[in-house]
Amino acid sequence: MKKLLISVLLIAAPLSCFANSSNLGVTVVSKKCGEAEMSLRCTAVGDGIADCLHPSLVYKSKGSIRKLPNPKGLKDTSPTSIACVRSKNDNAEYFHVMYDVLPTGAMCVNGITFTMPADIS
Range in 32-46, 61-75, 79-93, 106-120 with the lowest mean pLDDT? 106-120
pLDDT value of position 7: 36
For range 84-99, the mean pLDDT? 91
Compute the distance between CA of residue 46 and CA of residue 25 in angstroms, rounded to an integer: 11
Q: Which of 72, 73, 94, 70 shows the shortest CA–CA distance to 83?
A: 94
Per-domain residue ranges of the chain: 16-117
* pLDDT digit string, tens, across residues 30-69: 999 999 999 999 887 777 777 888 899 999 999 999 999 9
pLDDT value of position 23: 62
pLDDT value of position 100: 85
* Cβ-Cβ contacts under 8 Å for 93 (sequence gap 6 or more): 33, 34, 84, 85, 86, 87, 117, 118
